[in-house]
Structure 1
Amino acid sequence: MAGKQLTTQNATITTATVEVKTLTISGKQVTLAVFRQLKKAPLIADDGSLNGEPWGIVNYHPDKCGDEDEHWHVVWQRGPELLRATIPVVPDFNRRNYNGNYYPQHTHKSQAANRYLEALVYMGLKAGGDTILPVRGPGYSDYRKWPTYEPGLALPAELAGTTDFPVVAVAGAAAVDAAEHAAHLRYLRQEAEKPLTPDEERRRDEWKEAHRAMYGDDTERTQALLGETLGKLRSRVEEWGGFDAVTDAFTQEIAEVEAYRQKQLAVREELSALPQLFIAV
């Protein structure tokens, strides 16, 4: 077999009586040395399609990768070339660590998701409702100095539009500030409407008077801050084309990601049915 070049012209697959498929070259079984000479090239394209025709799987690890995550070494054909590819059995977005938790690739993050979250915050505050951001504001006079939430918020499935994978988005400063001011303003109004005993009301009024003399009216100041930050947030959403455009872009992206992931799973289902090719030691 020395000096023989393995090509699609001289390589064949033969089947023995017990359905053992062997990879041969010019009628002789291919050796490990010849198999290692096959050029490595990706069989699965970026869009999830196949770059050529797969022949079968060789249960041999020429690159000393036997201890890595489960994978296949696939012999495949591209035009007149015979190539080999290493393909993980589980795609990156579905891999789990030793604790059984998904790797970060399972989570979808993008600029479209970030904009969608900010647009949701704006529309919620514009309507006078709650925001989905877990803010710190209510009850803290220095609430704007506190971190509001961890970097990244997992969108509920009904907003993400998918249950196949978590979608995590990050809100910008304008959205966070507006949500904080709205929460604090709601708290101030609730406190003002809370029923008190005459003595409690007198003490509250005395505290408010002293606080107002030193800092101004909290409700008016927070209302002004909310209007200012909400205006900044509105400008950002309008810059992106408005709420409907932001939502459409995000929805389309999620549909594309879902389709891509399904295609990656489907192609692996196809590869799992390939025959095992035996080669000589």
Structure 2
Amino acid sequence: MQIFYLNDGQDSSLPKSEPCVMAMGFFDGVHIAHQQVIQEAKNIAKKRKVKLAVMTFFPHPREVLCGGKEKMNYLTPLEVKINKFAQLGVDKLYVIKFDQAFAQLSPKGYIEKYVIGLGAKHVVAGFDFTYGHMGKGTMRTMSMDGDGKFLVTVISKLDYRGQKIGSTFIRNLLSDGEVSEIASYLGDVYETSGEVISHHQNPMRKSSHMEVATYPYYTLPSNGLYEVEIYAGNHIYQGSALVYSNKVKLQFDGDLNNIKSKTIKLKWIRGLEIENVQLQQI
């Protein structure tokens, strides 16, 4: 997969255009609805025998438009999204730096430069995708802004059990500690990665304890105790994770001497009950 980082504020030049079908969106989490957008674009690209492209943005527009006053809780860092795009068979990825200069582009200016200018012959995006200054461009105006130079496919709202599948809803599940529900919307259990900052082994009980600092651009579940799968190098452990004050403490059966990796990946399986324990005292 070819990756192009574009910055409207510093470099007005674009990569050489090539006919493509382009899926567009922020794609935080690359959840089931996002995957549907990309899969539809992939199907069209295959029929037209052109490349499949994805356009995404970083940071989140909300962070820029509010002047940094509002903290955005991301589901996945950019590098994780990139890996997921590659797994979905994307040929070209365009990552646009969303800054104030980019935010000032008119809807028509955005389409002319970043859609037509990159060779898109067909655009696929969700029904609520917006573009251009103040988000005034919508999926209803896209064809007109493009002067009919490309086709547009709109992906309708995708529901599960009457709930719209979206990044905001998944974040709400995390804030409620409902991690076991997330796979139905994300397509897999939620994962985070972090760095080991302390560890301790109890030789009498043959159990290990670790404290992990979560990497940026992940959102931890709410304070509580959770069943997790712990991925450390080539080893996988079943254990529990205590979340409190944005910290994660792990407990599992295993030998710390086997763990050489500083990076720990956690898969959040389900919430566990804590009886008669004050989280701040653990």
Q: Relative contact order: is structure 1 or structure 2 higher (C-alpha 8 Å, sep ≥ 6)?
A: 1
Q: Same fold (TM over 0.5)?
A: no
Whichever of the two has the greater Rg, that structure is 1
TM-score by length of 1: 0.23
Higher share of residues assigned strand: 2
Higher share of residues assigned helix: 1
TM-score by length of 2: 0.23
